[in-house]
Amino acid sequence: MDTTQLLKGVLDLAVLAVLRHEDGYGYDILRRLRTAGLAEIGDASVYGTLRRLFQAGYLTTYVVPSEEGPHRKYYAINAAGRDQLGRSAKVWRAFASTMDELLGDEGVAA
């Protein structure tokens, strides 16, 4: 099964989740996601997701000057983003447990 197809549906949730505790700039967020195990995540996908979440009003941004290289645009989750994260997490957990049960009943080897 292609992980990238699965990622499309949960990218918003994943990005909101990694911003839950700490603000981050684009590449930083990408690294966190990869470190967490989503190795197949595409660079452009993360940036596109950040932009979409910002446009939806779930994130705020601020620019931090950097001495080496261009300024970094940091993303921070806001109250609306946390609400959205809570709702999406619920949907995901329900979906994931349904899938787990489905697979567990069949006795499929993990």
Phi, psi (rounded to 5 degrees) for 59: -130, 155
- Residue (56 or 102) nearer to other proteins, CB: 56
Tokens (6 digits) for 82: 């946390």
Least distance (Å) between residue 104 CB and other proteins:
33
Summarize the chain as % helix, strand, coil (round to 5): 60, 15, 25
Please give the biggest Cα pair distance in the chain.
Answer: 56
Site for other proteins in 37-96 (CB under 8 A): 42-45, 47-52, 68-73
User: Measured between alpha carbons, how far apart are the two ends of the chain, in Å?
Assistant: 14
Site string for other proteins, 5-44 (x = CB under 8 A): ------x-------------xxx--------------xxx
Q: Where does this chain bind other proteins (CB under 8 A)?
A: 11, 25-27, 42-45, 47-52, 68-73
